[in-house]
Amino acid sequence: MHGFPQTHYCWHLVAPGLTARNTVVVCDLKGYGESRSAPGGRLGEGYSKREMAAELVELMGQLGFERFSVVGHDRGGRVAYRMALDHPEAVERLAVLNIVPTVNQFERMAGEASLEYWPFILLAQPPPFAERLVAASAEYLLRYALESWADTPGAITQQAADGYLSAFTPEAIACICAEYRAAFHIDRPMDADDRAAGRTIQSPVLVHWGAEEGSMSNGPLAVWRQWAGSVTGGPLPSGHFIPEEAPEELLASLHRFLDD
């Protein structure tokens, strides 16, 4: 599963390399890209990670997969770890890229790091403020994110950037804002409740982050080890967009993790 501001296309250098030994299902997150969906409620209802995770577990069951591994980047990683928490019977292995759990994310957004996480606050503003603001400068916002978060020149090709832009429609923007509102109003307290109750992820967890992504400079492994008993991983030579900036390194790591 992909992250903001991308679509399933971000896996085009990774997914084909997994198909020799795995069946690979790649999707657009709810409301992103070609995954059409109604706008959410005022607080993001309909786009909580619990709802998105449940819908995807149901979809996988319809496709004939009752148990599977999940790989998620950025926003997709948030859906992925919620799938593992809520549906341990379904998730065999979990790989997350460039994130820590949402409650930890908001807790660490202070000082200089807070500036890098502007989507968490901007896109969560009440409707229609966020939607109108983003839609008015959609191309500038998207290209700024792609260029400023990447560390590898040319890793995100013009074709990819144009594809992400074409999917950044007013309808998608409304859903994306709903998903960010849900992160603040629903997912954050949900994570806090899980943490207080001592709920943990039962599956093995692989964690990667971009070595050149400043906000992850201290590494998130210590955080994830508070949420799961089996956590491995490390930095990859990349900025934020690991699937496109370090596809070979990521693919090699996923092969080892999924085949273990």
The pLDDT of residue 22 is 95
Phi, psi of 110 (to 5 degrees): -145, 155
The pLDDT of residue 134 is 97
Establish whether 240 is a catalytic residue: yes
Beta pairing, strands 91-97 & 205-210:
parallel
The pLDDT of residue 104 is 96
The pLDDT of residue 149 is 96
**Active-site residue identified among 74, 151, 191, 194:** 74
pLDDT along the chain (260 residues), means of 10: 98 97 97 94 98 98 98 98 98 98 93 86 97 97 97 96 97 98 98 98 98 78 97 97 98 95
Query: Per residue in 187-217, is it b (16+ CB within 10 Å) or e — as a string?
Result: bbebbbebeeeeebbbbbbbbbbbbbbebbe
